[in-house]
Amino acid sequence: MAKKYYWTTGPISSSLGLDHITVEVLNNTSITRSATINVYDLTSGVPILMFTKRVMMTALSSVSEIIAALESTIWEVQIITRSKKVRMWVGGQDEAGMNLIGNVVLSSEFQLLFSE
């Protein structure tokens, strides 16, 4: 069985005007891949799972998920994949869909929590 990679944005402090979080997962391989997206609200100090979904991506495609986040002041996105070639992008956005300063995490900025 293939290795699992657990990626995280780390805690993100919401900018004023946060309405939703957009998570984009890109499959940069020639075969179908899956990923699990977990979004946690860290506002209370204890991680609360706000959203979880397993997504399938055909070769060289992407999936986008929009998660309501009006009440979150601190949040984190974790993505679990079975390939290092699956890339991700996360953006905290206002209600018009504009990215908020300090709330965008590029694939290269994700941290590898661990692999198994």
**Third-level CATH fold of 5-115:** Hypothetical Protein Tm1070; Chain: A (2.60.290)
Instruction: Please give the angle made by the CA atoms of 45, 48 and 49, to the nearest 5 degrees.
Output: 150
Closest CA to 61 of 21, 33, 96: 33
Closest CA to 73 of 32, 13, 9, 2: 13
Q: For position 71, what pLDDT does the model report?
A: 86
pLDDT at 1 over 80: no
- pLDDT per position as a tens digit, 19-78: 999 999 999 999 999 999 999 999 999 999 999 999 999 999 999 999 999 889 999 999
pTM (predicted TM-score):
0.94
- pLDDT per position as a tens digit, 67-112: 999 889 999 999 999 999 999 999 999 999 999 999 999 999 999 9
In this structure, are strands 74-81 and 33-41 parallel, antiparallel, or unpaired? antiparallel
Q: For position 70, what pLDDT does the model report?
A: 87
Closest CA to 112 of 28, 9, 1: 9
Q: For position 51, what pLDDT does the model report?
A: 97
Where are the domains positioned within the chain? 5-115
